[in-house]
Structure 1
Amino acid sequence: MANDRSDTRTSWPKAWLGALALLLVALTAFEAQAQADLPAIPPAMACADLLGTDLTDIGGEGSRVTEAQEITNDQGIAACSVRGTLAPAITFAVVLPTDTWTGRYLQLGCGGLCGRLSLREVGAASGCTPLQAGGVAIAATDMGHQASDAGWGDDPQKRADFAHRAQHVTALAAKRLIEAFYGQPAQYSYFNGCSDGGREALIAAQRYPEDFDGILAGAPALNFQVQNGLYHAWQATANRDADGRAILLAARLPLLHDAVLSACDDLDGLADGLLADPLACTFDPATIQCEPGATDTAACLTPTEVEVVRKLHDGPRDPATGERLTLGGPQWGSELRWTVFVPETPDATTASQDHALEHLTGVAFPENPPEGFTLADVTFDTAWLQRLAALHPLYDATNPDLSGFHGAGGKLILYHGWSDTDISPLNTLTYYEAVRSHMGADTADTFARLYLVPGMYHCSQGEGPYEFDLLTPLMAWVERGEAPGAVTARQPAQDEASGFGQFGHGRGGPPPSGATEPLPGYPAAEAPSASVLRSPPLLPYPALPAFTGQGDPNDAANWTDGATRVEFTPPAWAGSAFFEPYAPLDH
């Protein structure tokens, strides 16, 4: 368990103190943002001259800059846009502001299995002033392969580039180009990624602790092998009958979701359609099971559907021992986003099926399975988990030993949506607790924070607030030693009318395959929405915000640090050793 951070102040009313604390945090954040801009540093050479930069010692023979030209984006930010190759097949891009650079460098992660190069989106940075002002040099990589290369997983080098090497050598190359272009190195280096980009963020902290001063890791696919090779495989098959047809369909999910909210919505003291702490919800789907012999099932679930709900929520177990094979499934409150593995029609495929097959047939094992492999070949037992464990040290980012990163002065912020059904937030919770256990809670508190976002889906979107800025607090922590506290999250008002927040993938998710830009421009920074439905605060785990009972509950000013805390103990499961220190595998 995490340290008890409950409020011990007793001389003033708790609600008043909490409101004052949030006000002070807001004022501090405002002051920090106002002071965030460092002096602009002009280029020391022409953009085109970067074509001669030697990268051979970084990437090997054939590594070079292939393009370098001046560009201006739609916001009027002028920059030198660079593309290059790091051997054998890593493509990278760096965008260097020509008039506004303030000494900061930001590297972006790449979701899914990557295979594309894009700097279009910077997640969890809504309203980040240094970005909006063009003060940050930015880079990204395709991680060594293109989406059109169906056989890249057969190449051990491309696997290694995807697993860990591409982001590292991209950082080295980008920093060299920065130093050449401006005549001085970057003062501060950051990494920001979500989904597999979150895994890449943690790989950097674990394997290459001196690459970045600050790391922002969202919904990380850190338990990579189990995530795709067991979790998604189970979610894709547990909802199928003997003929392979889906039992629970998407049209039934609102019924299930309403029942969950009816049972648990007010546990946090406010019935607002969100579960602030899904772990406190002990919903039993049998409570909405149809009566025996019922012919009208519009307002209830059939016994078969109830059994499927249990399977999807709880995850697979070894049939012989009953031992858990995953940390668990999606959390209560996320049911509207179960469309990741619950189709609209009985014969439709799901995203979970695609994720699992792509992983298991392409990268999961030392030797890829023969053609014709299907999810029917997955055995869902400890033997299958042991097969996946062979490449756990290559791909996974579950090593809790962050002593190198801590020793280098690094700061880490993790975040995860409670309603994420692509990657269960239990993975991030388990990792954070593993770091605190291995490093010591007091030490971990000096360099790591976790934010859990009620109602948010995978990386973004959802039924709750999902627009927030964690990059600015990370910069303040790295650059001025200001540890992050309350962060205001916003839910854009347009979601209520459009319904996009209900089933949309989200701006933080991976762009479409083939999204490589001809020559990347400086990304347009996302500005906060002008109109919002609600804007409660996010507090570092395990703290939970509480409504003061006064004023508008959709206004962050009317919330305080509550007396309750998220209570989480990592469950026992067959892969518990994955979250213990291990020696990484390079190939």
Structure 2
Amino acid sequence: MPQVTRRLLRTLLFAASFACCAHARAASYVVKHCAELLGKEVPASVIGLPTRGALITDASFVAAAAPHNRNGDYCRLVGVIKAQLDTTPDIRFEVNLPARWNGRALQMGGGGYNGVIVSGTEPTAFAPAASPLSIGYATYGSDSGHVGNSGRADFAMNDEAVVNFGYGALKKAHDVALALIIMGYGQKPEQTYFAGGSTGGREAFTVIERYPDDYDGVIANAPAINFSGVRLMGVKVGRASYGTPGGFVGPVQQKRVVETVLQECDGLDGALDGIVANVEACREREPRIIAQLRCANGQRPSQRDSCLSEAQLATLETLRDGFTLPYELAHGVTRYYGYNVFQGVDFSSGLGLGNSSVLVQPPRFDANGYLFTQGDSYMKYFVTHDLRFNTLGFDLSQPGEYKGRLVDLSSTVGAMNPDMSAFIAHGGKLITMHGLADEVISPNQTIAFYRLLVAKYGQSIVDSFMRLYMVPGFQHGNGVFIPAWDELGALDRWVTANIAPETLVGFDIASATNGRSRPLCRYPGFPRYIGKGSINNAASFRCENP
């Protein structure tokens, strides 16, 4: 970190005079001196990437008895990190300093295209009800450097904003938060963690790869590490759905796919519970599943008949296969791995394939599906800066004048660098969770990256710093099984007590099956029913490798 300026040093020493023993005196300092931080500046010299410094615009003590506050007494600091250019949005951030500090800090990642301040006052995704702030963590997050989380991604017209979204805001928010924690408690955190899912999962891998010495432990759920890949996947799916006559697969047919898969594969783990857990065994039945879905004797699908035409099956097979490029993106990436289309993924609702066989302008999630809508936005805002660009006419294999831009973007917004040697040397720990039924970010991409790490470092070294949990039935925040589990607690025990997590337990928070539990198995394991006991109890299952 750059040398601390005299002005900031005086501030830190002033804070330290109230908090020579941070854990013992944190409550007293936060209560008495929170408001004094209003208007304080963090100079650009202590921020590891170029900015024009940071300013605290609001500093308020939040009492435990305040309405709707379940986080105990804490000092809430809100501010801005000033962009280099006047034409670039500032980074808005929030830092929370609990009165009962446990000596740890947690940076919380965003979601989608961010654009909303991550307050740090809520529980982490899929965690028990208690928030990290309420159990003593100093928490912080940002909006990644723009306002508004729309699918249009219009912020991407600004190159500095793209850098902030990709990685810049992570480092800038971390360094500012660190300075404020020192101001508040008189010392740095003993441990600093990062936790996020989807976009936040990409951010989690990003901080490991770019800023490994800043973090002792990281949680990365459903990580969009191959960001360019998933957006280009959306382009390819759109070309299959709307660029090929009859290629669109409607909700009725998607429901039939899910029902057929369940008939064939639900019991492969020993339990009829609505979950395809033995994905690899189900994959072996794929030809039979496709044969049952195919329209017979040239029959054409209709609203009433949910069989699939050859063009529709080709669209699903495009989703299954992903793509391979004849050129390299950043870090030698040429492939995006496809989805478990015939192993239980439900593309019929939510973030699915859409409900309209007609392409609307501009495309919408509900009508034309999440993947293509986001792919179209990516081409227009990130790649071409041309809102009239014809995405359906774009051939991934022959990008022409846009090849260089695609390569650059894959480096700026992406986390596919397998070099984790500095994080390993630092003693960092990583827990990753991904749903095997994810319809947005392919779980097979996460598995492929894990295997790449094993090939690079060896299984024993990967086991020393990483745990991967692939969860059957879990989609992208939804699904027939939605796990709630104490991921942060598992990470903290690993970092501070060297207790490495093994098989864990997830409690289902899906409305139809709320409360049932399953083992969360280390990859490549899956939960198999032992043949006795309630199928709603994790104790009735054992982790088994395919």
* SS at structure 1 position matched to 2:70: coil
Q: 2:57 — aligned with what?
A: 66
Q: 2:377 — aligned with what?
A: 358
Q: 1:313 to 1:192 in 2, by over 3 A?
A: same
Say whether the 8 Å CA contact 1:198–1:219 is kept in structure 2: yes
Name structure 2 gaps, 5 residues minimum.
Answer: 1-22, 84-89, 328-332, 359-366
Q: 2:79 — aligned with what?
A: 84
What do the CA deviations read for 1:185-206 (whole angstroms, capped 9, x no partner)?
2121111111111111111001
What do the CA deviations read for 1:330-370 (whole angstroms, capped 9, x no partner)?
4433442354342223223222222112222222x4xx343
What do the CA deviations read for 1:246-282 (whole angstroms, capped 9, x no partner)?
6310122221111112222222333322122423323
Q: 1:288 — aligned with what?
A: 293
461-470 or 546-555: bigger deviation: 461-470
Say whether the 8 Å CA contact 2:105–2:139 is kept in structure 1: yes
Q: Work out which of the residue numbers 491, 502, 512 in structure 2 matches 1:485.
A: 502
Q: 2:141 — aligned with what?
A: 140
Say whether the 8 Å CA contact 1:547–1:553 is kept in structure 2: yes
What do the CA deviations read for 1:485-542 (whole angstroms, capped 9, x no partner)?
121112236335xxxxxxxxxxxxxxxxxxxxxxxxxxxxxxxxxx51x201101112
Letter of the 2:127 counterpart: S
* SS at structure 1 position matched to 2:180: helix
- For 1:390 and 1:303, locate their aligned partners in 2 and report how far apart those are by CA, in whole Å: 37
Q: 2:364 — aligned with what?
A: none
Q: 1:103 — aligned with what?
A: 103
Say whether the 8 Å CA contact 1:278–1:333 is kept in structure 2: yes
Q: Equivalences for 1:363-382 in 2 at 5 Å?
A: 363=382, 365=383, 368-381=384-397
Q: 1:143 to 1:241 in 2, by over 3 A?
A: closer
What do the CA deviations read for 1:562-581 (whole angstroms, capped 9, x no partner)?
2x34xxxxxxxxxxxxxxxx
Q: 1:172 — aligned with what?
A: 175
Letter of the 1:206 counterpart: E
Name structure 1 gaps, 5 residues minimum.
Answer: 1-37, 497-530, 566-587
- For 2:165 and 2:301, locate their aligned partners in 1 and report how far apart those are by CA, in whole Å: 51
Q: Work out which of the residue numbers 48, 55, 64 in structure 1 matches 2:42.
A: 55
Q: 1:275 to 1:382 in 2, by over 3 A?
A: farther
Q: 1:553 — aligned with what?
A: 535
Say whether the 8 Å CA contact 1:412–1:449 is kept in structure 2: yes
Q: Equivalences for 1:162-561 in 2 at 5 Å?
A: 162-228=165-231, 230-240=232-242, 242=244, 247-280=248-281, 281-282=283-284, 283-284=286-287, 285-294=290-299, 298=305, 300-316=307-323, 325-339=335-349, 340-347=351-358, 348-363=367-382, 365=383, 368-381=384-397, 383=399, 386-387=403-404, 388-458=406-476, 460-492=477-509, 494-495=511-512, 532=515, 534-561=516-543
* SS at structure 1 position matched to 2:451: helix
Q: CA deviation at 1:398?
A: 0.9
- For 1:447 and 1:172, locate their aligned partners in 2 and report how far apart those are by CA, in whole Å: 24
TM-score by length of 2: 0.82
Q: CA deviation at 1:102?
A: 1.2
* SS at structure 1 position matched to 2:242: coil
Q: CA deviation at 1:432?
A: 1.1
Q: Which has the higher contact order (CA 8 A, sep 6+)?
A: 1
Q: 1:418 to 1:191 in 2, by over 3 A?
A: same
- For 1:151 and 1:307, locate their aligned partners in 2 and report how far apart those are by CA, in whole Å: 32
Say whether the 8 Å CA contact 2:123–2:130 is kept in structure 1: no
* SS at structure 1 position matched to 2:27: coil
- For 1:474 and 1:316, locate their aligned partners in 2 and report how far apart those are by CA, in whole Å: 34
Q: 1:357 to 1:295 in 2, by over 3 A?
A: closer
Q: CA deviation at 1:122?
A: 3.6
Q: 1:581 — aligned with what?
A: none
Say whether the 8 Å CA contact 1:223–1:397 is kept in structure 2: yes
Letter of the 1:214 counterpart: G
Q: CA deviation at 1:125?
A: 4.9
Q: Work out which of the residue numbers 23, 35, 42 in structure 1 matches 2:27.
A: 42
Say whether the 8 Å CA contact 2:124–2:132 is kept in structure 1: no
- For 2:198 and 2:28, locate their aligned partners in 1 and report how far apart those are by CA, in whole Å: 34
* SS at structure 2 position matched to 1:561: strand
Letter of the 1:232 counterpart: G
- For 1:393 and 1:221, locate their aligned partners in 2 and report how far apart those are by CA, in whole Å: 13
Say whether the 8 Å CA contact 2:76–2:94 is kept in structure 1: yes
Q: 2:128 — aligned with what?
A: 127
* SS at structure 2 position matched to 1:355: helix
- For 2:537 and 2:108, locate their aligned partners in 1 and report how far apart those are by CA, in whole Å: 32
Say whether the 8 Å CA contact 1:168–1:208 is kept in structure 2: yes
* SS at structure 2 position matched to 1:336: coil
Q: 1:453 to 1:299 in 2, by over 3 A?
A: same
- For 2:79 and 2:334, locate their aligned partners in 1 and report how far apart those are by CA, in whole Å: 45
- For 2:504 and 2:200, locate their aligned partners in 1 and report how far apart those are by CA, in whole Å: 22
Q: CA deviation at 1:292?
A: 0.7
- For 1:296 and 1:175, locate their aligned partners in 2 and report how far apart those are by CA, in whole Å: 59
- Between the aligned residues of both structures, percent identity stands at 29
- For 1:329 and 1:395, locate their aligned partners in 2 and report how far apart those are by CA, in whole Å: 21
Say whether the 8 Å CA contact 1:325–1:382 is kept in structure 2: no
Q: 1:304 to 1:447 in 2, by over 3 A?
A: same
Say whether the 8 Å CA contact 1:251–1:344 is kept in structure 2: no
Q: 1:76 to 1:156 in 2, by over 3 A?
A: closer
Letter of the 2:27 counterpart: P
- For 1:255 and 1:151, locate their aligned partners in 2 and report how far apart those are by CA, in whole Å: 37
Q: 1:330 to 1:236 in 2, by over 3 A?
A: farther
Tell me how many residue pairs correspond in the alignment. 483
Letter of the 2:295 counterpart: C
Say whether the 8 Å CA contact 2:202–2:415 is kept in structure 1: yes
